[in-house]
């Protein structure tokens, strides 16, 4: 079994350091941008060269690396896409001449795990999963396999994505985000297609050793039929039992309402972080927060990305 020992999260809300979820930071023009801290653990010269996704990933990861880990496992749907576009633009602008190396270094999806590994001087397992809306869940599954084979090993697990101008414009054209201005405070009252763009980085120190929060169950699936997804959820609940709290990834997109009609009371979270491929990592961080503060004993997170990729993650109290 996998246990979560520590968590850290940089998100559009006050989740890094002292947590304040009572005050809702508003969206701006259908986007929820992260509230970045001062990054006191990152040298200024290095910080200036970091792309945003790398920056928030390193910032969220460093508090969990005060003791060494055996590996770093990250999920990211888009990675450092903004820096990738900057680098490609430079190839055209400078005709493949004097290009800025920083944008190239920060442009790949595995730049976050690589940068964290170099800063922590970690030469262990270093992997990045990029399976779109299931990237974080695949990273979680990877960590579960390590915990099963080597329970004493500690790993840094994370999920991170950024709002990039290029990708955001593509998603708007594809209808992923709302065409009219909608506030995150009224997101679930909206009956139109699309959601709000979000971003964030949530990290976890995990191992197979007993810890305060346990991963009790995980299921991932590709399916476009809401009836079949609901049947798989019922089978999951038959196997693991009803949770104290059902955390729903509902995102205000009217086209996905059939998937989130679960027939049970739910708590929703995407008005806090927005929609992005690894938003489930924020959901897991929130579930851990609910459990560690005594608001729930067992939390089930259900999330879907664009109605095609789905995950069920069940967390519960471990050993304190």
| Cα gap 302→85, rounded to integer Å | 32
Q: Give the full edge-to-edge strand order of the sheet including 298-305.
A: 125-129, 71-75, 154-161, 200-207, 2-10, 213-222, 309-317, 298-305, 245-248, 267-268
- What domains are there in the chain, each with its CATH number? 2-317 (3.40.47.10)
Residue 110, pLDDT score: 81
Does residue 205 carry a pLDDT above 90? Answer: yes
Give the pLDDT confidence of 33-43 residue by residue, as tens digits: 999 999 988 99
Residues 279, 195 contacting (CB under 8 angstroms): no
Q: For residues 171-196, give the mean pLDDT.
A: 95
User: Cα 311 vs. chain centroid, distance in angstroms?
Assistant: 13
Confidence class for position 91, pLDDT limits 50, 70, 90: confident
Residue 241, pLDDT score: 95
Percent of the chain with pLDDT over 70: 91
Does residue 73 carry a pLDDT above 90? Answer: yes
Q: For residues 110-135, give the mean pLDDT.
A: 92
Does residue 169 carry a pLDDT above 80? Answer: yes
Residues 4, 212 contacting (CB under 8 angstroms): yes
SS3 133: helix
Give 108 or 157, the one with higher predicted confidence. 157
- Token representation of residue 188: 């679930």
Does residue 106 carry a pLDDT above 60? Answer: no
Secondary-structure breakdown of the chain: helix, strand, coil percentages, each rounded to the nearest 5 = 35, 25, 40
Does residue 320 carry a pLDDT above 60? Answer: no
Residues 257, 266 contacting (CB under 8 angstroms): no
Give the strand pairing for 71-75 and 125-129.
parallel
Q: For residues 129-136, give the mean pLDDT.
A: 94
Give the pLDDT confidence of 250-273 residue by residue, as tens digits: 999 999 999 999 989 999 999 999
């Amino acid at each position: 079994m996998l246990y979560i020992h520590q968590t850290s999260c940089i998100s559009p809300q006050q989740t890094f350091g002292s947590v304040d979820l009572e005050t809702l930071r508003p969206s701006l023009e259908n986007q929820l941008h992260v509230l970045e801290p001062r990054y006191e653990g990152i040298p200024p010269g290095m910080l200036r060269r970091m792309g945003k996704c790398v920056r928030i990933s390193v910032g969220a990861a460093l508090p969990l690396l005060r003791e060494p880990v055996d590996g770093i496992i990250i999920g990211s749907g888009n990675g450092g896409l903004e820096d990738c576009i900057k680098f490609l633009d430079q190839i055209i602008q400078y005709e493949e001449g004097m290009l800025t190396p920083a944008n190239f270094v920060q442009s790949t999806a595995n730049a976050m795990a690589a940068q964290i590994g170099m800063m922590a001087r970690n030469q262990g397992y270093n992997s990045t999963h990029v399976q779109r809306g299931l990237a974080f869940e695949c990273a979680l599954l990877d960590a579960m396999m390590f915990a099963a084979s080597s329970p004493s090993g500690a790993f840094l697990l994370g999920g991170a994505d950024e709002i990039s101008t290029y990708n955001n414009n593509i998603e708007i054209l594809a209808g992923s985000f709302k065409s009219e201005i909608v506030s995150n405070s009224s997101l679930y009252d909206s009956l139109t297609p699309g959601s709000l763009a979000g971003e964030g980085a949530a990290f976890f120190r995990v191992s197979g050793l007993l810890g305060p929060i346990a991963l009790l169950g995980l299921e991932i699936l590709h399916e476009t039929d809401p009836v079949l997804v609901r049947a798989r959820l019922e089978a999951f609940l038959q196997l693991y039992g009803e949770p104290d709290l059902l955390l729903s990834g509902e995102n205000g997109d009217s086209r996905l309402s059939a998937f989130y009609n679960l027939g049970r009371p739910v708590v929703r979270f995407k008005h806090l972080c927005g929609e992005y491929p690894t938003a489930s990592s924020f959901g897991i961080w929130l579930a851990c927060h609910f459990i560690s503060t005594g608001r729930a004993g067992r939390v089930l997170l259900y999330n879907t990305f664009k109605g095609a990729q789905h995950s069920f993650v069940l967390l519960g109290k471990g050993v304190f």
